[in-house]
Amino acid sequence: MDPGTKTFDIVVIEDGVAKVEKSIDTATIAKNPDILISAVDKLETDYIVAPSGYGVPVTRGSEVLNPRRFAVELLLLSTEDDIRRGVEAGEIGIWVYDALSKAVEHLVKRYGIKVLFLPSIILLPTVPTYRKLNKIDMGTVDKLAATFIAIHSYSNREGIDYDNVNIVVAELGFGYNAVIAVSKGKIVDGIGGTYASIGTLTAGSLDLEVVVRVSHWDRWDVFHGGIFYYTNTFDMNALAKAFENNEEPQASIFKGFVEAVAKDIMRALVASPRAEVVMLTGRHSRIELVKKLLQELLRDIEFIYTQPLRGALISKEAAQGYAAIGEGISGGFFKDLVKHMEIEKACGTTADYLIHEKLKIFKERIQNTYKELVTHPKICI
């Protein structure tokens, strides 16, 4: 299951082929999580890869002692007070958090050891520590999952082994972008949605001079400040059309959005200088004008689309990646790529690399919560 900003996608794969796909509007699930729960309960599968948010080291449901707290505090880096206040304020993003937490609680209690939770990019041992300092979002689990499919796609396309895959992955989702650097088939750096340049929903990385002018931030503020709020439209196709018709200010905002993605790609190329191509994934990457403008800005590197798994017709690459990683962990078709990317060696918490003194209490809380809620915590040595 990929808990996307626009849709929750469910994919069942067998031997590397997508057998079942289902896409449910996120707003629908936010209002009634039982719809998601019912959809999963109707499936017959060996394993279930649950929504994993900001990620944990590979963890089975049977290792989780308190699934509600596990979801709220570790997967979503939130508190029950955040959830309560956000729901009361009518924040759809927090409704999604609440729905996701309820789904995780159900899955763990009903399926136990059959449930898998996955890591995000900051937890991977293939990313050097010095690139992790004062970061959390180097790419959430869905971005790792999309990158997994991109590596598989490029390996197949070129007929090369995984250790010859040098690419940058640009994942342009409905609300968040991420750019991931891949060297020799391993993720070596990531610029996650809330850390990347301005997105459609999220403000992205903020000037600290701006940050310190706000005395209090709410958990749901990460969902705000993007270009959709500036243009008062939530349709990227409409902005692309405005660009083609030279309608201001939408045309300039669309151009700025694409330019920001290009700048993030250039940052990722520092970590993967031998990258031959940029693999595009995500909802907004499918807008041809986005690809065209990116290619015009970065003429020395090729932009290509990530190919879906065989049998996949409607699901996002992230959902396919969730399923593929789970299948690999369980010894299936993708076991070699899971091993190559060292996904099962992920360790620690997403807060481990925070060094600013103002974040000490938060860091300790997340680390202690992880040790408290998981029976066999994987602590980085």
User: Which pLDDT score is estimated for 236?
Assistant: 96
331 DSSP 8-state letter: T
- Partner residues linked to 177 by β-bridges: 172
Question: Does pLDDT of 146 surpass 80?
Answer: yes
Count helices and strands (H / E) in the chain. 14, 11
Percent of the chain with pLDDT over 70: 100
Question: Does pLDDT of 345 surpass 80?
Answer: yes
Question: Does pLDDT of 77 surpass 80?
Answer: yes
| Digit-coded pLDDT (tens) for 346-370 | 999 999 999 999 999 999 999 999 9
Question: Does pLDDT of 273 surpass 80?
Answer: yes
Contact of 122 with 303, CB cutoff 8 Å: no
User: Which pLDDT score is estimated for 357?
Assistant: 96
| Digit-coded pLDDT (tens) for 314-340 | 999 999 999 999 999 999 999 999 999
Q: Report how far residue 209's alpha carbon sits from residue 202's, in angstroms, rounded to the nearest whole number.
A: 18
User: Which pLDDT score is estimated for 347?
Assistant: 98
- The length of the chain in residues reads 381
User: Which pLDDT score is estimated for 176?
Assistant: 94
User: Which pLDDT score is estimated for 64?
Assistant: 98
Question: Does pLDDT of 172 surpass 80?
Answer: yes
Q: Report how far residue 128's alpha carbon sits from residue 19's, in angstroms, rounded to the nearest whole number.
A: 37
Binning pLDDT at 50, 70 and 90, where does residue 268 land?
A: very high
Q: Report how far residue 330's alpha carbon sits from residue 326's, in angstroms, rounded to the nearest whole number.
A: 6
Contact of 10 with 39, CB cutoff 8 Å: yes
Provide φ and ψ at 196, rounded to 5°. Answer: -70, 180
Please give the domain boundaries of the chain with CATH numbers for all domains. 2-373 (3.30.420.40)
User: Which pLDDT score is estimated for 228?
Assistant: 96
Which residues make Cβ contacts (< 8 Å) with residue 371, sequence separation at least 6?
377, 379
Which amino acid, one-letter code, is at 281?
A: T
Placement of tokens 């790419």 in the chain? 139
Question: Does pLDDT of 381 surpass 90?
Answer: no
Burial class (CB in 10 A: 0-12, 13-18, 19+), 50: buried
Mean pLDDT of the chain: 96
- Partner residues linked to 192 by β-bridges: none
User: Which pLDDT score is estimated for 195?
Assistant: 93
Mean pLDDT of 198-212: 95
Question: Does pLDDT of 143 surpass 80?
Answer: yes
Mean pLDDT of 101-112: 96
How far is CA 74 from each of CA 64, 66, 80, 108, 110, rounded to the nearest angstrom? 11, 11, 12, 15, 20
Which residues make Cβ contacts (< 8 Å) with residue 49, sequence separation at least 6?
1, 115, 116, 117, 118, 322, 323, 325, 326
User: Which pLDDT score is estimated for 104?
Assistant: 97
